[in-house]
Every structure is written in structure tokens, then in C-alpha cells.
């Protein structure tokens, strides 16, 4: 198994181009089931994207990848479609469940493996199924599969989500596009990745409006023959490098981003003492010598994202005093804590809150990644720790970070894959 070897305390400077968003690409790829010919650009070629491509090919899409110019072309002639998403493809990439809504609304039936849990939580899909049932789907669970059908097609409806879910909002949105009549979804997730999905669907010809946390969709059967779409930048990758710059950046420039989408993250880092300069579609960040403590909770957008919680915790270990971060979204997203403590971090967890006592000197160690964002927090810790850090099981990292070590090496970090 591959590992990352990091020699700590080496300042990073230079510029990093932020890749396209994995979490925008995945639902947009699922939405290709509703389309005919699409060309997607600014694609992050990370593991999860390849798994979703494999799933779409299995379903019957014709897909052409051009890695050097980061594009994917999809041709869907809607012939010989297999409305099945098998366990072997969904178990490693939970977002495979996002093909359920489009398959059901387009072909009136779907058999999709239950995604199962993962390291950070049980990851149920009850809210996805709740919404599809409201649109008229008949759903049963058998042998670990969701078996859904809508013989007469789906019908528009008013649906209020009992709690906010990114995936359930996306599945319901995609299903409503092919439903008859109007659907209004209430209490939706409105992450930038969902807004990018909506932009894509509007290009396909669907009439969709967002107001607050409500989304209204006018279903229709006709879509535009051919559309192009440029995937939005990855705000979590950008946030990760913003934190790296605050920790040990001399003058780190992040390019190809939309700073206003990072308002919450930038405010948090500024409150902790980071110096951040905006310039058009790029940000420059300088490390801060005396980081201040902070207390916050993870929230759905526009709050502080759960996907940056592990990374921010590394910054908290370097801030004077007791910082607190409460994980409100997932039930088990502190797996990076025992590994950070082995590097010298002083962290106590009480219920859903981590109390981080700083500033503490971190020492390099051999550590183990457990999930995508925990693994990158260990890389950040390695960048500032004394001596060498070895991060094991970096296949977690490869699911969501494109060219991580290449981008950091270009900024003078001492990091290599072994
Ligand atoms: C998406 O996951 C992201 N994944 C996650 O990013 C991200 O952490 C999460 O949204 C929250 O922002 C993709 O977009 C591919 P949720 P998703 O449904 O849709 C509970 C990463 O690192 N819930 O918003 O699965 C759920 O258990 C990944 O890139 C139900 O109870 O997240 C969780 O506690 C990790 N029933 C909460 O809601 C449901 O039917 C939020 O989950 C669905 C979710």
C-alpha cells in the first residue's frame, strides 16, 4: 500500500491551482442519465470520479475521457440502458446512490445497492427514499438493494425535508426534473455544488428556482441535445490549502477560485489571525505567527463545512488557549484525533465537541488515514511537525485530492509518495 513521506517545518510558497469540485462532478455525472450529449470541463480526475464513470458505463452511457484537458464527454442514446447500480460499484463510492433519482424518473424503475456506512458514520439514505416516495415511487429494500419503480412516471409534489441532506436534495432534484408537473422542495441543502448542479440542469432546459432553502422544479421530458458545462472549483480543496498556508505558508497563492464562496472559511481563518489578500479569482495567504483560539460548530452551507473540520483542528493545535469545534453533521468524524494525539496534539473529546489545547509542538510519526478528510489533516500536521511523518493508507486521500503531493512539492514542501 502506498504511503506519503513528509519532512516537516518546511515553509511553503508559490501558487496552487485549485481543481474542479469532486462533490459537484458526482451529481452532475449522475444527471447525465437525463441528458443526451454533454461535455464537462475542469474535471478533477480523482478515484471517486473514475468509479462513477465505471457505474455510468455499466448503466449504458458512452463516455470519453480526455485527461490532459480535464474533460469528459458523455453520449446517452437511451438505448440498452441497465437500470442497475451494483454493490461492487456503490460500496466504495456512496455517491453512486445518486443515480437512483435520474434512473427512476427517466426509465420508471431502478435497482440501486444500498451504499452502506463508512468510517464517518452510518450514512443512511432514508431521506432520499422519503422524497422519492413523495413523488410517487414504490420502493422496497431487498437483499441490500433499493428496488424502486414508478410505472406511471413520477408526479410533482411539495416535499419538506425533516433535516438537511446534500445527497437527498440532489436525488430529489434529479427525480423532480423528469416528474410530471411542479415540485417544490423545502429545507434543502444549498451547497455551492448543488447550485452548480442546478446551473447544469438549467442548461439542459429544466426550469428551476432557488429561494432560501426552497427549490422549485418544473418537470419536463424534453432536454437540450448538446450542452457544455465547466465544473465549479473545489471549495474543500481550497479550504484545505488555505489552512496549510495559515500554518506554514510564506506567500501561498491559490488560483481558479471564487473567494465569495469561501466567505465563512476566510472569516474563521482571519479571526484566528491569518493574513489573506483577495485578487480577482485568487487568494494569497501568509502564515500567522500568533494564532488565536476559536470556537465553532460545523453546519450545512453557508456555515463552516464538516469537510474542513479535521483540517481546522490541526490549525487549532497551533493556537494559544483552548479552541472548540463541535461536529454537528456526522456522528463519528473525529478519527483523525487519536492520530494527531500520537503526534503530540492535546485534544479531549466530550460528546460531539473536540477541545483542542494549544499551542502544542507536533512531532513526526507514522500515522494512519481513516477517511478522506482525516487523511489530509494528517498531511497538514506532517507539514508542521518536527522530523518525518509517514501517512499510511493514502488511498483515502486519492479519492478526493487531485495531485496533492505534486501541488505541495511545487510549493517547496518536502513530500513524496513511497
Ligand atoms: C455530502 O455527503 C458530501 N459528499 C460529503 O462529503 C459531505 O461531508 C456531506 O455532503 C455534508 O456536507 C458528496 O457530496 C459526494 P448528507 P452526503 O446527506 O450527501 C444524515 C467528502 O469528504 N442523513 O448531507 O452523504 C447523514 O447521516 C464527503 O467529500 C440521513 O440521516 O451528506 C449525515 O449525518 C464526506 N439520512 C447528515 O444527514 C439521509 O437519507 C448529512 O448528510 C441522508 C443523510
Report pLDDT for 172.
Answer: 98
- Residues 238 and 207 placed together within one structural domain of the fold: no
Domain count, the chain: 2
CA distance 64 to 56: 12
CA angle 114, 198, 266 (to 5 degrees): 95
Q: Which domain holds residue 75?
A: 22-230
Given a contact cutoff of 8 angstroms between Cβ atoms, the answer to whether 215 and 184 are in contact is yes
- Residues 15 and 26 placed together within one structural domain of the fold: no
- The pLDDT-based confidence of 288 (bands split at 50, 70, 90) is confident
Domain finish residue from 176, 202, 230? 230
In percent, how much of the chain has pLDDT > 70?
100
More confident residue, 289 or 259: 259
Mean pLDDT calculated for residue range 371-382: 94
For residue 289, the 8-state DSSP code is S
**Cα atoms in the Cβ-side hemisphere of radius 13 Å centred on 308:** 29
CA of 306 to the centre of ligand 1 (A): 9
CA of 165 to the centre of ligand 1 (A): 6
Report pLDDT for 34.
Answer: 96
Arithmetic mean of pLDDT over the chain: 95
Domain finish residue from 168, 198, 230? 230
Q: Evaluate if residue 301 carries a pLDDT over 80.
A: yes
Instruction: Identify the CA nearest to 213 among candidates 155, 134, 135, 160.
Output: 160
Given a contact cutoff of 8 angstroms between Cβ atoms, the answer to whether 312 and 318 are in contact is no
Q: Evaluate if residue 116 carries a pLDDT over 80.
A: no
- Residues 44 and 86 placed together within one structural domain of the fold: yes
* Minimum-distance ligand 1 atom for the alpha carbon of 236: 29
Would you call 118 a catalytic residue per the annotation?
Answer: yes
CA distance 354 to 310: 10
Collapsing DSSP to helix, strand or coil, 213 comes out as coil
pLDDT in tens, 220-240: 888 888 999 999 999 999 999
Mean pLDDT calculated for residue range 114-143: 90
pLDDT in tens, 32-51: 999 999 999 999 999 999 99
CA of 68 to the centre of ligand 1 (A): 31
- Residues 309 and 243 placed together within one structural domain of the fold: yes
The binding-site residues of ligand 1, defined as CB within 6 angstroms of any ligand atom, are: 23, 26, 95, 121, 123-128, 165-168, 189, 306-307, 329-330, 372-373, 400
Q: Sheet holding 84-85: strands in order across?
A: 84-85, 109-113, 145-149, 138-142
Candidates 20, 23, 139, 300: which one to mutate for ligand 1, based on the most atoms within 8 Å of Cβ?
Answer: 23
* Minimum-distance ligand 1 atom for the alpha carbon of 126: 40
Mean pLDDT calculated for residue range 307-316: 97
CA distance 90 to 54: 10
What is 47-77 written as a DSSP string?
Answer: HHHHHHHHHHHHHT-EEEEETTTTEEEEE--
Among residues 118, 177, 188, 411, which one is catalytic?
A: 118
Amino acid at each position: 500500500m502506498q504511503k506519503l513521506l513528509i519532512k516537516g517545518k518546511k515553509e511553503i510558497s508559490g501558487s496552487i491551482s485549485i481543481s474542479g469540485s469532486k462533490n459537484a462532478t458526482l451529481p452532475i455525472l449522475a444527471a447525465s442519465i437525463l441528458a443526451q450529449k454533454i461535455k464537462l470541463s475542469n474535471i478533477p480526475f480523482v478515484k471517486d470520479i473514475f468509479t462513477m464513470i465505471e457505474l455510468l458505463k455499466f448503466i449504458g452511457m458512452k463516455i470519453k475521457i480526455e485527461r490532459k484537458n480535464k474533460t469528459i464527454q458523455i453520449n446517452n442514446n437511451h438505448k440498452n440502458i441497465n437500470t442497475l447500480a451494483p454493490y461492487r460499484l456503490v460500496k466504495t463510492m456512496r455517491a453512486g446512490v445518486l443515480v437512483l433519482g435520474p434512473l427512476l424518473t427517466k426509465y420508471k424503475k431502478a435497482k440501486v445497492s444500498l451504499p452502506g456506512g463508512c468510517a464517518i458514520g452510518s450514512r443512511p439514505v432514508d431521506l432520499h427514499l422519503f422524497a422519492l416516495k413523495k413523488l410517487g415511487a414504490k420502493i422496497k429494500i431487498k437483499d441490500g438493494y433499493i428496488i424502486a419503480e414508478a410505472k406511471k412516471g413520477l408526479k410533482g409534489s411539495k416535499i419538506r425535508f425533516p433535516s438537511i441532506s446534500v445527497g437527498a436534495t440532489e436525488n430529489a432534484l434529479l427525480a423532480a426534473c423528469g416528474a410530471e408537473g411542479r415540485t417544490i422542495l423545502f429545507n434543502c441543502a444549498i451547497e455551492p455544488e448543488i447550485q452548480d448542479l442546478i446551473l447544469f440542469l438549467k442548461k439542459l432546459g429544466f426550469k428551476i428556482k432557488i429561494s432560501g432553502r426552497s427549490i422549485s422544479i418544473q418537470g419536463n421530458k424534453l432536454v437540450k441535445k448538446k450542452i457544455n458545462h465547466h465544473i465549479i472549483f473545489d471549495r474543500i480543496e481550497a479550504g484545505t490549502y488555505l489552512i496549510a498556508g495559515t500554518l506554514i505558508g510564506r506567500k501561498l497563492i491559490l488560483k481558479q477560485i471564487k473567494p465569495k464562496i469561501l466567505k465563512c472559511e476566510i472569516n474563521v481563518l482571519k479571526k484566528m489571525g491569518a493574513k489573506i489578500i483577495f485578487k480577482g479569482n485568487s487568494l494569497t495567504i501568509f502564515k500567522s505567527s500568533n494564532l488565536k483560539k476559536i470556537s465553532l460548530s460545523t453546519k450545512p452551507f453557508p456555515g463552516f463545512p464538516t469537510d474542513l473540520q479535521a483540517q481546522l483542528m490541526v490549525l487549532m493545535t497551533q493556537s494559544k488557549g483552548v479552541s472548540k469545534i463541535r461536529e454537528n453533521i456526522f456522528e463519528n468524524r473525529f478519527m483523525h484525533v487519536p492520530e494527531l494525539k500520537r503526534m503530540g496534539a492535546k485534544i479531549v473529546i466530550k460528546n460531539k465537541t473536540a477541545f483542542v489545547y494549544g499551542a502544542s509542538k507536533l512531532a513526526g510519526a507514522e500515522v494512519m488515514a481513516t477517511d478522506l478528510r482525516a487523511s489530509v489533516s494528517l498531511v497538514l500536521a506532517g507539514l508542521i511537525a518536527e522530523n518525518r511523518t509517514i501517512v499510511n493508507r493514502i488511498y483515502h486521500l486519492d479519492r478526493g485530492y487531485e495531485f496533492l503531493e505534486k501541488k505541495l512539492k511545487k510549493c517547496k514542501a518536502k513530500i513524496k509518495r513511497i
